[in-house]
Each structure stands twice: as structure tokens, then as C-alpha cells.
Structure 1
Amino acid sequence: MKRRHLPPALVLLLLLLTLLSLSLSSRRHLPFLPRGPSSQSQQHAAAAGDALLRRLATADPGGDQVLAEAAALLANASVVSIPSIGGRYRFLYLRLPYRTNATSAPKQRAVSRLRVPSHTVPDDGPLLDAFRASLRSFLLAHQHRHRGSNVAAGGMLGGGLAGLLGRPGQQRFPTCAVVGNSGILLGAGRGAQIDAHALVVRLNNARVAGHAADVGAKTSLSFANSNVLHSCAVRSALTAPGCACHPYGRAVPMAVYICQPAHLLDALMCNATATPASPFPLLVTDARLDALCARVARYYSMRRFVSETGEPAANWTRRHDERYFHYSSGMQAVVMALGVCDEVSLFGFGKAAGAKHHYHTNQKKELDLHDYEAEYQFYRDLQVRPEAVPFLDEVPGFEVPPVKVYW
């Protein structure tokens, strides 16, 4: 049988119809994909994801645990001191009752132990009363911390800090440097640049001696967590008035946030041992500042977790113990600076291969309770896209000042 040949035009038409049929058939089995990265559906999804992260970040189990500890101290703590031989100082014990089991008689355990001057620090009774008053104020402030994050407009970021720094009539500074403790500062030669700022904030009493060429020598404010304060107080308030917490000079003030409510006793003791000849201005951070920093730290850590793992934000607790997760001293110092400075420069916030964790110590491992990589993302957003930083945009009338990250 003779094979019949189709006209070339008809062959081409049949081929095109076949390809079209296959294309339509395959697309029926594919989900709809929005066109372009700026599609409306993607924008809605991003907004919903951001709203979820914000909502999850407002929960603060660690903060609730601190409040529970403060309430227990207020209800049950006692202060007992034992005089030393010769009576020059006293060993001071802050104690709480405890039971080994449900039927045992209560015993006393020491929550804190300090050595204090006999004639400077109040006797046990008045000191316990002052400690309880401090606990009440702490509890009252932190129980209302979820009412809002309006920190930059008041509290410590207003008259409190200005008064501490001796500027009650002028609350803002034209230029501020917040100096982190990263080992990347070694060899950087940033000392003169740092010292040129109107306000220089240092963290956790980091040593500057021997490192001035890289980290500067000027210090306007020491910002620390209360564990640092407690370590200072433990050393010897007798031989070093002001709790030995003044490596930058006794006139340099300290702002401290409370990690453990028992450390409020250290703050009281430090203030009690300061004298006109040996001053030591000390301020406990505002509860609203603490709450704001906790939210921002959790938000960025959750966002990083979702981006790296693809898991929902609710699974974040698999990586971090939310009872102990905390922002770093550096992050809170940066947030504080946003509220009192017209321009903010950050030095020593970052890391590099081979660099030490701290420029002034041999510590190499980062603390598990902080998410430093997430905090670095926060600093980058402050510099590049401040409008994207969560919670700060909820403060009426507040604008993030220009931020420059040098490391």
C-alpha cells in the first residue's frame, strides 16, 4: 500500500495542537503560583506571618518566672547577719524557707551571701524593710509591663537616665557610641573614633586598660546585668565602697537590669555604701524597657528560626528554653540609646572567624541563653530598614534615629 504524505502545513498544525494539549493537561495538576515576588497574596502572607511573630513574641515565660521569684521573696524572705570578729563588717544572708518533702519541717536556705560594712549598711530589720519595698516596686512595675511598649517616650529613657547622667534639663545626646565586647575590636584602631562621641556606653564593666587604642578610654555610662552587680558586691563592700563596681571611675554611673530579684538587695547595699567622697550612682532599668527588649529579642529569634528551618514559629521552643532565653546586655543598651540619642554608633557587635568572643577575656563560647545571630539581624535592620523593626513602630511619635553599625 502506498504511504500517503500529509501536507507540511497540516503536520505543523497537528504538532502545535499536541503541544498545547500536553501543556494544558500538565498545568491542571499544578497549584496556582502567584506571578512575581510582590504579588498581593505574598504580601498578605508576609503580613500575617509578621503579626503571628509579634503575637508570639509578647509572651514572656522567663519574665513570669522572675515575677514569681520576686513574689516568693516578698512573702517569705528574711535577712540575717553575723558580725565578724572585731565587728568591722557583717556577713549578710538573704534566706528563704524550703521543705525537703511535703511532711518535713521548713528549713532555711541562703539565696544570697554578702559581706557589708557594719556601720554603713542598715541593720537587718530596716534593710529587710527596704528590700521588701524594692520588691513591691519591682513587682508593680513588671506586672503592668504588658500594657504597652511605650518606653522611648518616658521612664528610664527620659528623666531617669538624664538625671543619672547629670543632665536633667537636657535629655538627649547628639552622638552616642555603644561599645560591645566582641573580640573583633582587637586591632580595629577605633579608640579615638569611639571617644569622640558625646555619650559612650560600655557593657558589663568590660576592661579598657591595655585596649584603649581599639576600644577607647572614655566611659559615660556602664550598662550591666545584675549578675555583674552581684559579683561586684560579693567581692568586698568594706574595702571598696560602691561594691567595687566602678572600673571606669567611681563617678561613672551604672544602669543595671535585674536578672534575679534577689539582686535588688545588692543594689540597695551598693547605694548604702556609697558616700559623697566615694559616690556610685546606680539606676535599675525601667520595666517597660525590659519588656520591650524581651519582645524584640524573641521576635528576631523566632524569625531566624522560621527562615532557617522552614518550621512554624510555634516550634521555636524546641531550640530555645523560653524560661531562660534572654536578650543580651548589649541589645538592651542599644535600645536604650535609641531613646536618648540623635545618632547611634555601634562598635563591637559581631563576630569573625578566629575572633575571641570577648576582646578582654579568653571566653570563646557564646552563652546559650542569647541568640546573638538574631540580635545582629536586629542591628542590621536598625541601620538599613528601621521601619521594619517590630514594636518600636508602636510607640506614638517615636522615630528611630540614624544608626551606624561598624562591625
Structure 2
Amino acid sequence: MIRKKITKKIIPYLGLLLILAAFPFKSFSQETLETLNQALRYSRYSRLSLKILPIQVENKKFILQMPVEKIEMDIEFDTYQFAYAVLSGFQEPITDQNLISLTKDDIIRETEYHYYFEKTVTIPESQEMAFALLKATDTRQGDVYYYHIDLISPFVFGHPNFWAYYRDGIPFDQAFVIQKDPIEFKGRGLIEFHNFHYPTEFDPPLPPMEIRPAPVTREIKVDYKGSFLANLPKTFDEDGYYFIQADTNSTQGMMLKSVPETFPRVKDYDEMVEMVVYISTRREHETLKEAEDKKIALDQYWYSLTKDEETARKLIKEYFKQIEFANIMFTDFKEGWKTDRGMVFTVMGPPNEVFFRLNGEIWSYVSPDSNSKITFTFARVKNILTPNYYILNRSRALQPDWFKSITTWRNAQMVF
């Protein structure tokens, strides 16, 4: 009798233990901004691109503009589940209690290319930091997309009380603007905006194992281009980048990189020569730059790597596809391929893991033939022009894996 009673009590616990054994304990751990793997943000095969573009209404009151770009064609809204949250830090758990669902009724505007949500949030007066998070879950295979941005943190100097918009009314969700393509600036009660142009051009970054300091431009030229009216089409036609402000006495503004109409693709043979610096020897690159006919020189360069015309064509296509993605994802006041993150993305490919910290970003590449990881750490640097300025922590220890990837490129064996 006693044995039967004990058996009845033990069986339910055994069942619970079996259930727990079937699911690793990490499945029950609470997610935070620090533990989210946001690799899909940089994937070449993403079906969505999420953005949060905050407008600061008052000291701690923000309008969260949340455009979702439809990379996948003929998308159905119910294919995805959307939610957003405002968090007090990178360690705050992301739970059903602080995630707020976004339904079809929450769509402010839908176009062929975007869903657009908009929500107003107020941060408690006592809260020192705040971060907005947008989440999209693909209900077909369970892929989860994230995008987060600082609302209040040591790395932002405040947010503008205006924004730029496409012709269809969707908030401008890029860091770059195509020259001669008009956009409109709007803000509550604002009549005009001030326009500063920086014609500066930048060199490609040094490789990851180069620990000597990169040369720094002693002077950055800036031209005040005057003011322009709100709610009217505005173009930016000169090379460089622009900083737009409603109030020149504040640090708040919006930065735009002005680019030619071919961007994010390669513009011409001169630019193509510049871009192959990452996989070329110094002597090869100097020879290309000195060539009178860049097209002939490049044809010879690519053929010398592959010894086969068809393979050379495939290599060219793949390499410049990487450049294009780098330009889309990492452009700030530099073209995306010239940033540290763009350089690593171009050579190493999309990272398998991407983890954010308040003061940095960590990329890991898992070797296909082993369990080893190659890790690149990017330090976040305060910059008045953009809250997303990152510099690679360079180390000689990265040299073997970097050269291995370059060799893979030169042998036309890189596959993503």
C-alpha cells in the first residue's frame, strides 16, 4: 500500500523530468537585447527589413516610426507576427508583458514596398535609459527579425523633431539618398530646415590585423547651403554627406549620405578598382590604379586569379554583390563598403551570430569544418552625426583567418 502511494507521487515527477530533458534549459531563459542573435539583420536572404525612426516630441516623449520593408514579393500580412517594446536597458528581459502586438489595424500606411506602423511612447521621468525594439516572426519557419535603437542613452545626443519622407509618405528608412531623387522633410510646426554639406571623401579602412592608427583628417570642410522649406521636395546633388537641422543651436539633426544613381552598386571602373583593395596584394592594387585603361586592367586582373573566363564572371558577380549589400546595410557618412563593418562583411560574408552591447557589436563566424569561431568586435563610438558608428577592434590574431578568406575569394570558392 505504501509502495503504491509512492509510485503515484513519483510518476508525475518523472513525466516532468522527461519534458524538461527534451528542452534545453536555455529555452526557458529570458531573452534580452544582449542575448538576441540578430544575424538575420545582416543576412543576404532576409525577407524583411525592420527600422525604428524616432522623432523626439518632448524631453522623454517619442513618436516611433516603424517602417517594415517588404523584401519578399507578394507578402501577406498574416505571414508575420509583429510586436514592439520599450526597454530600460540591455539586460531587461523581453517578455509577453512588455511586448506589444502590432495588428493589421495598427498599420498607418501600406504600400507595395512597406508596412508602416507608428506609436507614441513616453519614458518615465525616473528612467535613465530607454531602447525601442521591433520584432517580426515569420510564422512559416519561425525566423525572428529584430531591430532596436537607443531612445535615451550615452550614445545619442537627442533625436530630431522632424524626419524625411518618400513621395508615398513612408518615412525615409535609409542613411543614403540618391542624388536628384526628391524627399520631403516634415515636422510639427516647422517651416524651414538648415542644410550643411560635407564634401569629404574617405579612404577604405585598414585591414583587421593592422594595429597602427589609421590616418585622421585634420580638417573637415563644411559648407552651409542655406535653408529650405518644409513639405516641399528637396534633392541633394553633391558628393559627400549632409547634416539637416531644424535648430542650429542644438546637436539634433539628420545625416544623409549623397550617392550617385547607381548606388548601392558599383559606379564605374575607377570605383571598381578602388573596391578590389580588400582581396588584392598591394602591388596588384597599385598596378590597377596606375593603368590607363581600367577595364582592360581589371579584365586581366580577374582572369589572372581564375584562369577561366566563366569562373571570373562568377567571382566578379559574387564580390560586387557583397559590396552592394555592404552599402545597403552599413552606409553612414561613408559608403557602407568603406566602413569597418562593411569591410568585414565583404570579405568574410554575413556573420552567423550578431550580438549587441550598449557599447559595441560582436560578430561570430562558425567554421564549417570545425566548432571553432572567428570573432570580430566593433566598438561603438559617440558621434554627433549618427548613433551607429562602429570601429573594429583590430588585432594581429585575426590575420590567419582574414588571409584564409582572401585566399578563398581569390580561388573563387567563396559561398554564402
TM-score between both structures, scaled by the size of structure 1: 0.30
- The higher-RCO structure (CA 8 Å, 6+ apart) is 1
Q: Which has the greater radius of gyration?
A: 1
Q: Which has the higher helix share?
A: 1
TM-score between both structures, scaled by the size of structure 2: 0.29
Q: Which has the higher strand share?
A: 2
